[in-house]
Amino acid sequence: MNEDIRIHSWPCSYYLDTSKQWVSGRLSLTPVAIKFTADKTGELLVNFHLSAISEIKKESSNLIFSSLTILEKNTKHWFSSLQPNRNVVFNILEHFWREQLLSSQGAGAEAASLQSTKGKELTGLLTGSQKRLEDTAKVLHYQGEQFDNIMRGLNKIEGDMDVADRLLTELESPSWWPFSSKLWKAPLETKPKETATVSDSKNQEGIIIRIPVIITHRTDSNVKPGKLTLFASGLEISDCNSQVIHRFESRDIDDIRVHTPYEISVRQRFIGKPDTSYRLLSAKMPEAIPILEMQFSKKIQFLEDALGFAGASKSPQVDLGTSIWQA
């Protein structure tokens, strides 16, 4: 993945210690680094790797203005007047910083992987192919269970039709017909067993992938961390306490938009009331997008900044542009 991809950019002010003044500009986040560019001069005043960060905190400058501080090695960087607000920027920066620390390779290994040998590249392709095959097997297994449930449902319908036919015969029979009680009891004894058989196999589905995400609902002025879980039957959005915020069944999803390799939006349309839409940002999103593309091939849409991601596995050097989710 290209290190120069800009995931997000926010207008803010940066305290320049050399001149003892605040400088207006834009704070930018890439997959492995944080940058600040001054508006007037266009000079790059801040540029360091996420792996070099020791701490990210919410503080106040002069006890009045809310600020965000980033401790990089022994240098403390101050950012204020963050838009849309400080909490949004803090949650996103902390998410990517934490995922960078949890990553086994880290920023240095990611940069070194760009110069890996052909043997390592082939090994990576084989590993990725194996994972895709495993995901496909899970989806096919669940679809097989769905077909089994459909067949059970058809058998149940056929049995119910047979019962209805016998009940109609019962109603048309004269009152002195000696076998009436047996005909009425037969369907009542078999129906609960059939219903139990279908319900027992209803919830037998496994998790394909689960990743941490930053969740935005309708407005970008409020974001919160959570989790995205992909099933063969749909996807589920939950908070940090594993409480379900919303679950989309596959048939309920109208479109999935890939804004960048790290950011997607999921929408369900309604008539006469607002759509249900969630925007999800994650450092692990590149692992989930291929699975979403496989499951929702007719509903997924790659926007301009993510057009190159669809073919990234074939051509690793792709310019993906910048994020369209601007503050």
Summarised one tens digit per residue, pLDDT across range 192-231 is 444 444 434 344 468 899 999 999 987 666 788 999 999 9
Locate 104 and state its tokens.
């086994």
Please tell me the predicted confidence (pLDDT) of residue 327.
Answer: 34
Average pLDDT on 284-305 reads 88
Please tell me the predicted confidence (pLDDT) of residue 74.
Answer: 87
Q: Is residue 19 part of a domain?
A: yes
Give the count of beta carbons closer than 10 Å to the beta carbon of residue 127: 10
**pLDDT score of 4 more than 70:** no
Please tell me the predicted confidence (pLDDT) of residue 313.
Answer: 44
- How many separate helices (H) and strands (E) can be counted in the chain? 5, 15
Please tell me the predicted confidence (pLDDT) of residue 211.
Answer: 93
CB 163 within 8 A of CB 176: no
Please tell me the predicted confidence (pLDDT) of residue 185.
Answer: 46
- In the chain, the number of structural domains is 2
CB 60 within 8 A of CB 46: no
Which residues, listed in sequence order, are joined to residue 77 by a DSSP beta bridge? 70
**Residue 17 is which amino acid?**
D
> Taking all residues of the chain, what is their mean pLDDT, rounded to a whole number?
77
Give the count of beta carbons closer than 10 Å to the beta carbon of residue 36: 22
Domain closes at, from 77, 105, 133: 105
Q: Is residue 146 part of a domain?
A: no
CB 81 within 8 A of CB 93: no
The strand pair at 207-217 and 223-231 is best described as: antiparallel
Q: Is residue 302 part of a domain?
A: yes
Q: Is residue 221 part of a domain?
A: yes
CB 206 within 8 A of CB 195: no
Q: Is residue 222 part of a domain?
A: yes
User: What are 243-272's pLDDT values in tens digits?
Assistant: 999 999 999 999 999 998 899 999 999 888
The residue with greater pLDDT, 156 or 264, is: 264
Please tell me the predicted confidence (pLDDT) of residue 119.
Answer: 62
**Residue 235 is which amino acid?**
L
Verdict on whether the full-model pTM lies above 0.85: no
Beta strand residue intervals within the chain, DSSP E: 8-16, 21-29, 33-38, 44-49, 53-61, 65-72, 75-80, 207-217, 223-231, 234-239, 244-249, 255-260, 263-268, 276-281, 300-302
**pLDDT score of 131 more than 70:** yes
Compute the 3-state secondary structure of the chain and give helix, strand, coil in percent, each to the nearest 5.
40, 35, 30
Q: Is residue 147 part of a domain?
A: no
Domain closes at, from 71, 105, 139: 105
CATH of the domain at 63: 2.30.29.30
Please tell me the predicted confidence (pLDDT) of residue 46.
Answer: 92
Q: Quick check: bond before 225 cis, omega within 30? A: no
User: What are 114-125's pLDDT values in tens digits?
Assistant: 555 556 666 766
User: What are 63-78's pLDDT values in tens digits?
Assistant: 567 899 999 988 999 9
Please tell me the predicted confidence (pLDDT) of residue 27.
Answer: 95
Domain closes at, from 59, 78, 105: 105
DSSP codes, 250-265: GGG--EEEEEETTEEE
Least confident of 10-24, 106-120, 311-325: 311-325
Q: What percent of the chain has pLDDT over 70?
A: 70
Please tell me the predicted confidence (pLDDT) of residue 321.
Answer: 39
Q: Residue written as tokens 């929702």?
A: 296
Q: Is residue 23 part of a domain?
A: yes
Q: Is residue 174 part of a domain?
A: no
**pLDDT score of 312 more than 90:** no
What whole-number distance in Å separates Cα of residue 302 and Cα of residue 262? 12
Domain span at 277: 207-310
